[in-house]
Amino acid sequence: MISIKNVNKWYGSFQVLTDCSTEVKKGEVVVVCGPSGSGKSTLIKCVNALEPFQQGDIVVDNTSIADPRTNLPKLRSRVGMVFQHFELFPHLSISENLTIAQVKVLGRSKDEAIEKGLKLLDRVGLLAHANKHPGQLSGGQQQRVAIARALAMDPVVMLFDEPTSALDPEMVNEVLDVMVQLAQEGMTMMCVTHEMGFARKVADRVIFMDAGQIVEDCPKQAFFGDVSQRSERAQQFLAKILQH
Amino acid sequence: MMDFSAIVPALPGLWDGLLMTLQLMVMGVLGGVVLGTLLALMRLSHNRLLATIAATYVNYFRSIPLLLVITWFYFAVPFILRWITGEDTPVGAFASCLVAFVMFEAAYFCEIVRAGIQAIPRGQMGAAQALGMSYGQTMRLIILPQAFRKMTPLLLQQSIILFQDTSLVYTVGLMDFLNAARSRGDIIGQPHEFLIFAGLVYFTISFAAAQVVKLLQKRLAV
Ligand SMILES: Nc1ncnc2c1ncn2[C@@H]1O[C@H](COP(=O)(O)OP(=O)(O)OP(=O)(O)O)[C@@H](O)[C@H]1O
Ligand SMILES: [Mg+2]
């Protein structure tokens, strides 16, 4: 579904991504972790071409991002993305947040978009809030709306960039529950997260990044199994994370 | 002794002048905001040429007095039209003044709109694009509506300044409010009373508008 091939990216002379390659198969859940500044956000934003890269290619559902003929907005409409800071549109109501792209991008009718939006809102348990504005919801509720907004586009894959790291601890689980459910339904997912409980529960593979490189890319059992098999940097990282 | 009684019979004429002042202001603001928004989008675009053209435009118009622009357009607009159409096309002072205001104010509105756009968190742009919106859709549906909401007080403030600046049109013979008051006062021989009255009207309108700005600022700050 996603195939990342030897991607290199620079900001000026600073190389953020070095020779990154990996695959995410249909229905697979891949968790990406690594220290701050290691390039996790950059990598995941390359997957829906929110960030350009200079070398290599990423193919999403048979569409090459590096190909200049690719219609990038169209590609992005099929890739759901959830951000650390939710990024709901504050000037629109919750139901408008859920419908605007369905109508303006996919060309669905208003009625169809609303029906779909409300169904998804119900699914994340927030149907009662349809007419509120994002500012009236808690962080956890906003993030659930953001997930519903992405799902409303019927994406072939979902990308998450630290979806719970801006939340108060008591709200983390309500968001993770939605993500777990999504994973169990067979959604293809690439998640940047440090929630190792989530990774243990639903991930198929774990990728560990450091300094712009993919250092580890292995099945979950291996990643959490015999830690001594892991690279030194991954061991340090895991030790630090699992302390908390 | 001051005698304000002569103002009452002059009120209909003054009212016509006030209408022209308000007309110039409203149309100038609307045109200025539209052109200013276009300039702001050009300044923020990745296209170097567009950005440079817009920046030059803004810097130029912010460096010259409004009076000069009004005078210049008064002479230039008929000339340009003759050059285009090949015949004498009378445009009148009102139209040339309006063009002058729109072009001059656009430079100031551009900077307000640009700051407004830049104040919207970058993530909003990313979120809209991640949903498949084009650059145009992102701006029109997501960024500009939020930016304009934040900018409303500043836009109004600039409009109040334009309201006062419209009085400069007397130089090309337009009967705006100030010119109407001055000329009537001169005819009757009571220039001071009429000018004091005009001052009161300008003050009242500007002050009331400024209160609205303050109210909006408070409400938008929440
Ligand atoms: N626009 C930019 N210009 C220059 N450098 C940037 C830019 N964006 C990110 N970087 C740098 O690229 C590196 C990778 O950033 P990135 O945001 O991908 O890291 P991350 O792994 O997501 O970190 P975090 O856990 O803090 O979110 C960092 O060193 C960062 O400073
Ligand atoms: Mg990040």
Contact present, B29 and B162 (Cβ < 8 Å): yes
Inter-chain residue contact B132 with A101, CB threshold 8 Å? yes
Listed in sequence order, the DSSP H helices in chain A are: 40-47, 72-77, 94-104, 110-123, 139-151, 169-184, 196-202, 220-224, 232-243
> Nearest-CA neighbor of A97 among B142, B137, B144, B150?
B142
pLDDT (0 to 100) of residue B81: 80
Query: B137 to chain A: nearest residue by CA?
Result: A104
Quick check: CB of A228 below 6 Å from ligand 1? no
If pLDDT is split at 50, 70 and 90, which confidence band does B221 have?
low
For residues B39 and A78, give the distance between their C-alpha atoms in angstroms, rounded to a whole number. Answer: 33
- For ligand 2, an ion, list residues with CB under 5 A: A 41
pLDDT (0 to 100) of residue B75: 85
- For B83-108, the pLDDT digits (tens) are 888 877 777 888 889 999 999 999 99
- Please name the residue whose Cα sits nearest to atom 29 of ligand 1: A37
pLDDT (0 to 100) of residue B1: 66
Orientation angle between helical segments A139-151 and A94-104, nearest 10 degrees: 20
Instruction: Judge whether A156 is closer than 8 Å to chain B, CB to CB.
Output: no
pLDDT (0 to 100) of residue B219: 80
pLDDT (0 to 100) of residue A66: 92
Residues 6+ apart with CB under 8 A from B24: B94, B97, B98, B101, B166, B169, B176
Residue with tokens 């500043």: B154
> Nearest-CA neighbor of A53 among A82, A11, A3, A1?
A11
Query: A90 to chain B: nearest residue by CA?
Result: B146
Orientation angle between helical segments A169-184 and A139-151, nearest 10 degrees: 20
Considering only the beta carbons, identify the residue of A77, A80, A91 that sits closest to B149: A91
For residues A79 and A76, give the distance between their C-alpha atoms in angstroms, rounded to a whole number. Answer: 5
For residues B78 and B80, give the distance between their C-alpha atoms in angstroms, rounded to a whole number. Answer: 6
pLDDT (0 to 100) of residue B185: 87
For residues A133 and A9, give the distance between their C-alpha atoms in angstroms, rounded to a whole number. Answer: 38
For residues A213 and A42, give the distance between their C-alpha atoms in angstroms, rounded to a whole number. Answer: 11
pLDDT (0 to 100) of residue A224: 83
Q: What mean pLDDT value characterizes chain B?
A: 90
Instruction: Judge whether A204 is closer than 8 Å to chain B, CB to CB.
Output: no
If pLDDT is split at 50, 70 and 90, which confidence band does B49 have?
very high
Kindly report the backbone phi and psi dihedral angles of residue B193, in degrees, each rounded to the nearest multiple of 5, phi listed first.
-60, -45
Q: Is the pLDDT of residue B222 over 70?
A: no
Distance B193 CA to ligand 1 centre (A): 67
Nearest ligand to residue A16 Cα: 1
CA dihedral in degrees (B95, B96, B99, B101; nearest 10)?
A: -100
- For B8-45, the pLDDT digits (tens) are 888 888 899 999 999 999 999 999 999 999 999 999 99
Ligand 1 atom with the shortest distance to the CA of A40: 21
Residues lower than pLDDT 70 in chain A: 243-244
If pLDDT is split at 50, 70 and 90, which confidence band does B220 have?
confident
pLDDT (0 to 100) of residue A221: 87
Higher per-residue pLDDT: B131 or B74: B131
Indicate the pTM of the whole model.
Answer: 0.88
* Residue B101 neighbours by CB distance under 10 Å: 26
Mean pLDDT of B120-130: 95
Query: B142 to chain A: nearest residue by CA?
Result: A89
Q: Which CATH superfamily is domain B10-221 in?
A: MetI-like (1.10.3720.10)
